[in-house]
Amino acid sequence: MLRRFSIHLRILFVISLMVIFVLGVTLAFLSNSRTIREISLEEVNDLMLNAQRDKLQIATHTVAVMLGQALKNVPPESRIDIIKDLTADIRFEADESGYYFVYKGTTALSVPAKTSVEGTDISGAKDVNGVFYVKGLAEKAHQGGGFIQYIFQKPGAGEQPKLAYSEMIPGTDLWVGTGVYIDNIQAAQTQVANRINEVVSSNVTWIVAVIAAIFVLIVLPLALLISRSISKPLGAATAAAGEIAGGNFDVTLTATGHDEVTRLEQALSTMGATLRTNITEIEAKSAEAEEKARAAEVAKAEAEEARLRAESAMSEGMLQAAQRLDEVVRNISAASEEISAHADEINSGTQHQRERIETTATAMEEMNATVLEVARNASDAAMQGETVKSQAQEGADVVRGSIRAMDATRTQAGSLQESMKALEDQAASIGQIMNVITDIADQTNLLALNAAIEAARAGEAGRGFAVVADEVRKLAEKTMTATKEVGDSIAAIQRVADENVQAMDTAVSELETATEHSHRSGEALEQIVSGTEHSAEQIRSIATAAEQQSAASDEINQSIEEISNIAAETARGVAETTDALSQLASQAAALQNLIEELKTDAGR
């Protein structure tokens, strides 16, 4: 079906398909970018939510351990004051919406954000969705710790979703909890989404610009140049073959280059010159044969006339007639011999001409076989190009999957890095709290010492007070010891967090480098796919051109066969002329014998 169109139009059609393919790839890339953005946002949301969960769990556990140490051996009536002193002023999150609350069962003991509910059993508190969040947190705490998500009033923002965690304070029947508003996570997610959109838009714009520039500046001009380099000489070769097939052998082609089309032009030029020479020789030999045939006819007519004269001369003088006939016969014999010699030359030239035509036909058949072999090789190369393109496309898909995985990993690593930094900040805040506890213990110890001194001064009246002061001093010392242990634990947490932050910095840097290399690999593979597609189309065009060359060679072979038939007919004509001359020689010999008889009769 494609043979109905010219090679130039077919190449333009291939270029159009390439444009459509590039547009399709670009649209697919845009669609994949949107999908990757949505998946990335989901991953970021999950990572940030998990990071908040880890942060709440670690911070709540740390505060629970700290309160457990601070409340050890403290009478129940004194616990609330110590709890408030240690937790009431703690705030976290950028908007300071995070705080710690302490309950006994469902009775609020310390709620810094809403002190009006302290001392009240609020087990019936529920959000707009019917979630009993206080009762749920109490149950989670008694189960060893857990999360509850509910709707809660946020200052300045109205009702917002909140994630809270609760845990029992060791050594007590109290539990401590804290929570964060999820709208903060959504705000951070919005920032990440905006950043991803900016990066994707920038990358897409750059990639589309590069592809368009490469296509307009390199692919399109190169394709047009290749199309012209194939179609123009093929058109000239086809026109020359048509001229030769029509009988015009004065064809000259300017063959420049080293490709198959150049060799075809050279072969056509050589064949035209050879056929022109052969036809000229055949025409010359045919004209000479016709001239000799006419001479033979004239001689035959003269011989017939001489015979008639000889018969009429029998009454006038057979001897005189015989002498004249003898002269005529000798002339006829000489002319016949000369004509026979020329006929032999014509026959030899015709035979030589047939051999040269057969040689030319053999060369054309070999050239046709070579052209067909080129077409088959071009087809095989096109199939191999398709295979290479498929493999390169699979490699590009693998690299794109690696890029997506690395981007997701890098995003997760960045989120984990931020979480570790937040953990380090929380540990630092807890360290400050422990410093306050240490200062309070020091002051308590000092007050206990002063009380013991005053009790000693009071004598017997102050002995009971001295005992109490000594117990207070011992409690202060235990508090200092516990505070020191907690401080050491926090310092260890800070060191580990700092090491993790440094490790995450290194990991993020390496992930960015790996992602960049993956992007470059993906771009290189896309260029390989495009180049392979272009090479395959060129090879298919070459195969089509070779098929057209084969068709032109077939037409030339037909013309050569016709010329060979003409040469064969000429040879047959020469052979018939030779036979006629042989018969003429026989007739001349018979006439010579008759003359001898006439001479004998005349002598008598």
Q: In this predicted structure, what is the pLDDT of residue 137?
A: 95
CA distances for 35 relative to 39, 349, 397, 409, angstroms: 6, 82, 15, 16
Mean pLDDT of 142-163: 90
Starting at the edge strand found earlier in the chain, the sheet holding 107-110 runs 107-110, 100-104, 175-181, 158-168, 146-154
Q: DSSP class of residue 150?
A: E
Candidates 389, 385, 380, 388; CA nearest to 543 is: 380
Beta-sheet strands, E only, within 175-325? 175-181
CA 112 to chain centre: 60
The DSSP code sequence of 274-295 is HHHHHHHHHHHHHHHHHHHHHH
- 216 or 295, higher pLDDT: 216
Q: Is there a contact between 518 and 403 (Cβ–Cβ < 8 Å)?
A: yes
111-120, 440-449, 537-546, 583-592: which has the highest mean pLDDT? 111-120
Beta strand pairing call for 146-154 and 158-168: antiparallel
Which segment of 109-118, 127-136, 231-240 scores lowest on mean pLDDT?
231-240
Task: Name the CA dihedral angle for 276, 277, 279, 283, rounded to a multiple of 10 degrees.
Answer: 130
9-28 residue pLDDT tens: 777 777 788 778 878 877 87
**Spatial separation of the C-alpha atoms in residues 80 and 155, rounded to whole Å:** 26
Length of the chain: 604
Q: In this predicted structure, what is the pLDDT of residue 111?
A: 93
Q: Where are the alpha helices (DSSP H) in 71-181?
A: 76-87, 133-142
What confidence tier does 60 reach under pLDDT thresholds 50, 70, 90? very high
Other beta carbons within 10 angstroms of residue 294's beta carbon come to 10
- 254 or 135, higher pLDDT: 135
Q: Is there a contact between 151 and 161 (Cβ–Cβ < 8 Å)?
A: yes
Q: In this predicted structure, what is the pLDDT of residue 213?
A: 86
Percentage of the chain beyond pLDDT 70 is 48
In three-state secondary structure terms, 102 is: strand
CA 18 to chain centre: 13
Three-class secondary structure assignment of 356-369 = HHHHHHHHHHHHHH
Q: In this predicted structure, what is the pLDDT of residue 477?
A: 74
385-442 residue pLDDT tens: 566 556 556 655 655 665 665 566 566 656 655 665 665 666 566 666 667 666 766 7
**Spatial separation of the C-alpha atoms in residues 434 and 426, rounded to whole Å:** 12
The tokens for 254 are 């300017």
Q: Where are the alpha helices (DSSP H) in 88-149?
A: 133-142
**Spatial separation of the C-alpha atoms in residues 311 and 447, rounded to whole Å:** 183
- 188 or 369, higher pLDDT: 188
- In one-letter notation, the amino acid at residue 20 is I
Q: Is there a contact between 463 and 455 (Cβ–Cβ < 8 Å)?
A: yes
Q: Helix 260-458 to helix 76-87 angle, to the nearest 10 degrees?
A: 140
**Spatial separation of the C-alpha atoms in residues 70 and 20, rounded to whole Å:** 74
**Spatial separation of the C-alpha atoms in residues 99 and 92, rounded to whole Å:** 7
Residue 298 has pLDDT above 70, yes or no: yes
What confidence tier does 68 reach under pLDDT thresholds 50, 70, 90? very high
Percentage of the chain beyond pLDDT 90 is 15
Find the helix or strand (DSSP H, E) in which 152 lies. Answer: strand 146-154
- In one-letter notation, the amino acid at residue 18 is M
The tokens for 267 are 């072969």
**Spatial separation of the C-alpha atoms in residues 241 and 18, rounded to whole Å:** 33
Ramachandran sector of residue 317 (left: φ over 0; alpha: ψ -120 to 50; beta: rest): left
The tokens for 67 are 């309160």
What confidence tier does 208 reach under pLDDT thresholds 50, 70, 90? confident
**Burial (Cβ within 10 Å: 0-12, 13-18, ≥19) of residue 488:** exposed
Mean pLDDT of 119-135: 92
Q: In this predicted structure, what is the pLDDT of residue 173?
A: 92
Q: Is there a contact between 223 and 11 (Cβ–Cβ < 8 Å)?
A: yes
What confidence tier does 203 reach under pLDDT thresholds 50, 70, 90? confident
Residue 134 has pLDDT above 90, yes or no: yes
**Burial (Cβ within 10 Å: 0-12, 13-18, ≥19) of residue 396:** buried
Average pLDDT over the chain reads 72
**Spatial separation of the C-alpha atoms in residues 108 and 124, rounded to whole Å:** 12
**Spatial separation of the C-alpha atoms in residues 420 and 506, rounded to whole Å:** 14
Which segment of 187-196, 207-216, 471-480 scores lowest on mean pLDDT?
471-480
Q: In this predicted structure, what is the pLDDT of residue 140?
A: 95
Residue 374 has pLDDT above 60, yes or no: no
Mean pLDDT of 547-559: 62
